[in-house]
Structure 1
């Protein structure tokens, strides 16, 4: 990131935005152009915003996050999304809340563009309102706020007390200190009293790619991984710890004529909540650390799994996958961030810190991925970059 942006640099960036957005006749710009234009727009903003003002705005931003969470709790976004114009009085009555409180919360959200202001105490939807009201966005808001805010607030003191060491112990991290537990985060989430947070987490996992394109839209999966089909006595693809099967369903949508079989593996409560799967998909209860996936599959797919763990745990997980792979036939496909050594984007670097806060884990650079997979006895066929700033693909074999 550039700390100081001159007037000339800002003008150059503004000109590049116009040029980028003028490319072609298609109203939908490509992911690469979108990300490049956003980066240029951020340079313009930094040129116009004085550091004093920018830092104050940043310091007060948690208040916006709190307002979003409370309004989600009161179903305010749903109410507004269903009405062209609605009053604070009606919103407050619906949520059994104080009208003055509703006005104060929505004052922030209208300023942020999340809700439209139609007049004094009158509100309507924007495209942000509609998105925030979606099931996946609601899961993200509730899980990320409820699971992360307390550990984040503990972060500075926890790091000071531990001598500013990089967190590596999944049983003794910021999350455990904040929640007074020595359970690893996923075990804590599985405790019955935390069911709502765990449900919201699994909903968020369905949409954690955001608007970024699926790997299946830019990576030639069939050409590289199963150009001549596969042995139909064994699975074409096993989605290892695949949640509710959203990525596996994307695969089936891309390749509807592939006969499978396909296997979705995860913990039993997660699989029970996966209710909209293709009949081609077999559910299989699975534990990353104790079980090997079904043997002999063509593809073992792991999206956002290994970033949840440090190397020691990852090597144990990979050993279980290796035990099921067939040399010369099976592929391990990892869909995860591959951080650049320099010039890392804001989203990826924030995601890395969130892994640190919640799981005492990390996102990895290309060098770190190579070191991990080689340590696990795997050979890297290739590391492939996505368009824009999404998750990459790492293909490994025995």
Structure 2
């Protein structure tokens, strides 16, 4: 029975919202993100203050309920059974190794149906959705993101008020004495703890892979044609002067590149790049899951606080050396990214969430454009241009080059400090 206070116009708005489905924006990930963000902003405007808090509680409850059914093996069993409509009795049978109480399972499924994790199609009859079917794939980014909540995220969120009170509400900048290390039983930092338990590392890297959907392809924002042509000219010049082929040289080192999205994007645009010209670096447990062309990309286990092996000399920490391979007059690593806008207003949910997540997980932060300019200047780089993607609210590409001598570029940024140069970066 519908509320009697609804006007025809309001009923039409509700019908329009209910009519929007996954197929309406299929294939356009950035459009999906933009529409979802608009929906969240709409909720924030029309909800009462109490409903704001209730929304957070519901989100946490849905995540916990999904985790329970993941532990019961329901998602996997349902997907392997064909992902068809199923009765409550059948769903109990899909659980393994433990068969839950039927009343308990029914209550949990009704809760999830209210948030469209599953669809209720009859009395004690349920249909999976795209979300629940993804949870049925143990290695999917969706499943790993859910596990991240249990392994890292929720306890870090819960502990943050106590940690900030303990530190006198100072901005967390010490990656060792972090909020994360303070709550974990082992008192280890995020990356140190992941090395003690492979499951913690797998869930984190899987979650990071899922965040790719929120990133614009940097080669769409930045025209790589001149960069690649310059690389080939330098390579030919070197080979001509030596009288023989001296190897391909290195075009791009993706430092802390996770699964290899950025190097793969460049290779997709320029498939003729020679083997060895692209290098992907990250920690050992991350590079083990790299998704790159092994014939084209050199995968190298490397801690970015250690000396840079490609250059063969001691490297600065990444915050002071984000583009180690640049030479005066040539573009530096084009994959360095701007984490926010120059102004401290109007950031997207993605940017704000990543910034806060970095704070309570590793005592780090996303940088504004002004902070990046000052940081690069301190490391001897001149910013040539900043290339923003067509869809706002994601990341941008900094084009910078090594410069000789003093450079006044960046003074107009008002002296915005970047503080802790040794902080962990995403």
Partner of 1:303: none
User: How far has the Cα of 1:389 moved from its partner?
Assistant: 2.3
CA RMSD of aligned residues (A): 3.2
Q: How far does the alpha carbon of each residue in 1:95-154 deviate from its partner, in whole angstroms, 9 at most, with x for none? A: 313123322222221111111112222221223333444511112221243112112211
| 2:280 aligned with 1:264 | yes
User: How far has the Cα of 1:320 moved from its partner?
Assistant: 5.5
Equivalents in 1 of 2:61, 2:201: separation in Å? 24
Contact kept, 8 Å, 2:322 with 2:336, in 1: the verdict is: no
User: How far has the Cα of 1:66 moved from its partner?
Assistant: 0.8
Q: How far does the alpha carbon of each residue in 1:167-201 deviate from its partner, in whole angstroms, 9 at most, with x for none? A: 1111111101111445432122112xx11110121
1:235 corresponds to which of 218, 243, 250: 250
1:49 corresponds to which of 44, 47, 50: 47
User: How far has the Cα of 1:46 moved from its partner?
Assistant: 4.2
Structure 1 residues 123 and 263, CA, compared in 2 at 3 Å: closer, same or farther?
same
Structure 1 residues 320 and 32, CA, compared in 2 at 3 Å: closer, same or farther?
closer
Partner of 1:174: 179
Equivalents in 1 of 2:345, 2:59: separation in Å? 27
User: How far has the Cα of 1:156 moved from its partner?
Assistant: 0.9
| 2:163 aligned with 1:161 | no
Contact kept, 8 Å, 2:141 with 2:210, in 1: the verdict is: yes
Equivalents in 1 of 2:42, 2:306: separation in Å? 51
User: How far has the Cα of 1:352 moved from its partner?
Assistant: 1.3
Equivalents in 2 of 1:59, 1:180: separation in Å? 25
**Aligned runs of 1:183-198 on 2, under 5 Å?**
183-191=188-196, 194-198=197-201
| 2:122 aligned with 1:119 | yes
Q: How far does the alpha carbon of each residue in 1:269-320 deviate from its partner, in whole angstroms, 9 at most, with x for none? A: 3333337633112222322111215139xxxxxxxxxxxxxxxxx9622556
Q: How many residues align?
A: 361
| 2:305 aligned with 1:292 | no
What secondary structure is seen at the aligned counterpart in 2 of 1:221? coil
Equivalents in 2 of 1:352, 1:250: separation in Å? 24
Contact kept, 8 Å, 1:80 with 1:129, in 2: the verdict is: no
Equivalents in 2 of 1:151, 1:39: separation in Å? 24
2:356 corresponds to which of 334, 353, 358: 353
Contact kept, 8 Å, 2:323 with 2:332, in 1: the verdict is: no
Contact kept, 8 Å, 1:80 with 1:123, in 2: the verdict is: no
User: How far has the Cα of 1:357 moved from its partner?
Assistant: 1.0
User: How far has the Cα of 1:91 moved from its partner?
Assistant: 2.7
Structure 1 residues 164 and 315, CA, compared in 2 at 3 Å: closer, same or farther?
farther
Partner of 2:262: 247
Structure 1 residues 77 and 381, CA, compared in 2 at 3 Å: closer, same or farther?
farther
Equivalents in 1 of 2:301, 2:32: separation in Å? 40
TM-score by length of 1: 0.79
Partner of 2:339: 337
Structure 1 residues 48 and 143, CA, compared in 2 at 3 Å: closer, same or farther?
closer
Structure 1 residues 53 and 272, CA, compared in 2 at 3 Å: closer, same or farther?
closer
User: How far has the Cα of 1:42 moved from its partner?
Assistant: 4.2
Contact kept, 8 Å, 1:336 with 1:391, in 2: the verdict is: yes
| 2:393 aligned with 1:395 | no
**Aligned runs of 1:27-38 on 2, under 5 Å?**
37-38=35-36
| 2:329 aligned with 1:328 | yes
Equivalents in 2 of 1:72, 1:225: separation in Å? 46
What secondary structure is seen at the aligned counterpart in 2 of 1:264? strand
Contact kept, 8 Å, 1:337 with 1:363, in 2: the verdict is: yes
**Aligned runs of 1:13-24 on 2, under 5 Å?**
none
Partner of 1:301: none
Equivalents in 1 of 2:322, 2:45: separation in Å? 49
Equivalents in 2 of 1:177, 1:45: separation in Å? 34
Partner of 2:424: none
Structure 1 portions without partners, runs of 5+: 1-9, 297-313
Partner of 1:92: 92
Partner of 1:140: 145
Larger radius of gyration: 2
Equivalents in 2 of 1:91, 1:260: separation in Å? 50
What secondary structure is seen at the aligned counterpart in 1 of 2:336? strand
Partner of 2:376: 373
TM-score by length of 2: 0.74
What secondary structure is seen at the aligned counterpart in 2 of 1:284? strand
Equivalents in 1 of 2:38, 2:302: separation in Å? 45
Contact kept, 8 Å, 2:260 with 2:291, in 1: the verdict is: no
